[in-house]
Amino acid sequence: MNIIKTEIEGVIIFEPRVFKDSRGFFLETFSSGRYIAAGLTRPFVQDNHSFSGKGTVRGLHYQLTQPQGKLVYCITGEIFDVAVDIRQGSPTFGRWTGTILSRENHRQMFIPEGFAHGFCVLSETADVSYKCTDVYKPGDDYGILWNDPEIGIEWPIDMSIALLSDKDMKNPRLSQADKSTLPQG
């Protein structure tokens, strides 16, 4: 497995070994020992799966009292996956990093606790699976505006056709978020 560290401490991209032949391919999407060796020592306790159409933007989401680290994998299609450091006091507060995850590249991205997470769908459809380090707690979900100009995410889609939930369209900019709802660094 190839481990790629990003410019933001804790956000890691994984490239698992893929065994291809005339029948197709095989890969291990998760083997705890390999991820522990890479520094992910927290157990994963919940798996999620989303299906979305082209232009869908999900995020930027985070949890406060039960923060979730997320190991994201695109099973079918292609997405642009993003992590934003929203930890107050962090030296990289307000910075983002992103990468393309796809059925073709088999990459995974780990987004640590204390980060906002989001993605946009680049293909006609995409199935996205992610492992979480804590269970979802209703009422503990928060968001930051997906296209906050102060963060400056370079989304590789036409922003005028982005499909968002009503809730995600109403999220505040990071600078306007209630500080009591932001994690500490």
Confidence (pLDDT) at 159: 87
**Strand, coil or helix: what is 158?**
coil
Q: What is the mean pLDDT of the chain?
A: 96
Nearest to 29 by CA among 127, 144, 115: 127
The Cα 77–Cα 120 span in angstroms is 11
Other Cβ atoms closer than 10 A to 51: 13
185 pLDDT more than 90:
no
The Cα 99–Cα 51 span in angstroms is 19
Domain boundaries, position 139: 2-181
149 pLDDT more than 90:
yes
154 pLDDT more than 90:
yes
Give the total residue count for the chain. 185
The catalytic site residues sit at 61, 130
Q: What is the pLDDT of residues 19-75, one digit of tens each?
A: 999 999 999 999 999 999 999 999 999 999 999 999 999 999 999 999 999 999 999
Go through 75-86 and write b for each residue having 16 or more CB atoms within 10 A of its CB, e for each that does not.
eebbbbbbbbbb
Confidence (pLDDT) at 12: 97
The Cα 166–Cα 45 span in angstroms is 29
Structure tokens at 44: 């994963």
How does DSSP classify residue 41?
-
Q: What is the pLDDT of residues 75-89, one digit of tens each?
A: 999 999 999 999 999
Mean pLDDT of 162-176: 97
Contact 54, 98 (CB under 8 A): no
Count of domains for the chain: 1
The CATH number given to whatever domain includes residue 52 is 2.60.120.10
